[in-house]
Amino acid sequence: MPETLIANLKVQRYDPESDNPEVYYQDYEVEVEDWFTVLDALIKIREEIDGTLSLRCACRASICGSCAMRVNGEAKLVCKTRLDSVWSPGESVTIDPPGNMPVITDLVADFKPFWDKVRQVDPYMQPTGPVPTAEYLAPNKDMVHLAGVMNCIMCGACVSDCTVLEVDDRFIGPAALAKAYRFVADPRDGKKKERLGVLNDDTGIWDCTRCMQCVEVCPKDVDPMGRIMVMRDMAMEEGFTNTSGARHTESFYNSVKRSGRLNETRLAIESMGVLNIPGQISMAPVGVKALIKGKLPNPLDHKIPSKAAVKKIVEHSEEPSK
């Protein structure tokens, strides 16, 4: 007879209507099968042990995007996460609600900030020009790269774990930016430049720190960070180059092409804007500290011996692909 498996789940609880509305963890021991997902275990707890436990789920087949929550500190769609991939007998698995959103109760978060950000990017087609008299058939080559981003199920896992949203809730965030890409890159939309102009603002595409966490946790391989990087290129191609992010990119690129290595001092100065005197003054204390500690590289380029080879690689990468 197969051995009975008892899983230990440490679940975040919060009841705003209790006399003492505090966040705490409750330990549950639940009998599980070896094929259980985390969601199966949570539902079993709710149905057989503690009917007061609140969680959100619907399809149980990673389609609806309802059940994103943190498992051992990382966002996951719990219907898609096998229990044995995050828990071993003798240990406990910790379940929290998704992050970067207010908690309503237990494992249920308020998705209003998520949807507000999606609305912010005008998530609908805005064609311009005469009204078409027949179906607009977009070429396959223009649409095939959109298939991945259209797989987004709006689960919020990427938003939950975005490291920038954790410190700055004004950032549009990975899900809404991936949604923006879906329209920016669609040849049927007529507002590409206007969209990129808005996304180029302080809280948009340049705010991402490229930590890759959204890529890591997305259950549908949408690659929000990759989409953000493509929109940075698109914005610069459309002439939106007057941001510290765009200047940073240019400076980095020119430095490597020129000398074969990165010149960090010039990078800082050029990213801020050479003519941005108040900005340069504000950075001076950091520069002085770095100088005192011997960490300020010489602003004159140190060319590496094989710089010609690096330049060749860069020039090769600039050639149009055949």
Applying CB under 6 A, the residues found at the interface with ligand SF4 are: 152-158, 162-164, 174-175, 178, 208-214, 218-220, 222, 224-225
Backbone angles phi, psi at 221, to 5 degrees: 55, 40
Separate counts of helices (H) and strands (E) for the chain? 12, 7
Q: What angle do CA 274, 228, 263 make, to 5 degrees?
A: 35
Of 69 and 164, CB closest to ligand SF4: 164
- Picking from 26, 28, 97, the residue whose alpha carbon sits closest to that of residue 67 is 97
Question: Least CB distance from residue 126 to ligand SF4, whole Å?
Answer: 21
Of 30 and 39, CB closest to ligand SF4: 39
Of 55 and 155, CB closest to ligand SF4: 155
Q: How far apart are CA 83 and CA 41, in angstroms?
A: 8
Unique residue bearing structure tokens 């990087």: 229
Question: Least CB distance from residue 153 to ligand SF4, whole Å?
Answer: 5
Of 71 and 158, CB closest to ligand SF4: 158
Residues 211-222: b if buried by 16+ CB within 10 A, e if exposed: eebbbebbbbeb
Question: Least CB distance from residue 273 to ligand SF4, whole Å?
Answer: 23
Of 45 and 55, CB closest to ligand SF4: 55
Task: Compute the radius of gyration of the chain from its Cα atoms.
Answer: 25
Question: Least CB distance from residue 111 to ligand SF4, whole Å?
Answer: 10
Question: Least CB distance from residue 176 to ligand SF4, whole Å?
Answer: 9
